[in-house]
A = this chain, B = another copy of it.
Amino acid sequence: MPPTRAARRPAATELPAEPTQARRFGKARTAQSTALLEDYAELIADLLASGGEARPTDIARRLGVSHATAIKTIARLKREGLATARPYRGVFLTEAGEALAARVKSRHRLVVDLLRAVGVPSEAAEQDAEGIEHHVSDTTLLAFGRFLKAHG
Q: Which residues of A contact B (CB under 8 A)?
A: 8-16, 18, 21-28, 31-32, 35, 39, 46-47, 49-53, 55, 61-64, 114-115, 118-121, 124-128, 130-132, 134-137, 139-140, 143-144, 146-147
A32 to B32, CA, bound (A): 8
Chain B residues, Cβ within 8 Å of A50: 12-15
Q: How would you classify the secondary structure of chain A's contact residues: helix, strand, loop or mixed?
A: helix
Given contacts A12-B46, A120-B143, contact A126 B62 (CB under 8 A): no
B11, B115, B131, B139: the one contacting A124 at CB < 8 Å is B139
Q: State the 10 A-B residue pairs at the shortest beta-carbon distance, nearest first.
A: A131-B135, A22-B64, A12-B50, A124-B139, A28-B131, A119-B143, A9-B51, A120-B143, A118-B147, A28-B130
A49 to nearest B CB, angstroms?
7
Number of this chain's copies in the assembly equals 2
A14 to B143, CA, bound (A): 27
What residue of chain B has the Cβ atom nearest to residue A121's Cβ? B139
Could you show 20 A-B contacts with beta carbons less than 8 Å apart? A8-B55, A12-B47, A14-B46, A15-B62, A22-B63, A24-B130, A25-B62, A26-B64, A27-B130, A32-B35, A115-B140, A118-B144, A118-B147, A120-B140, A120-B143, A124-B143, A125-B140, A128-B137, A130-B135, A132-B135
B18, B51, B139: the one contacting A10 at CB < 8 Å is B51
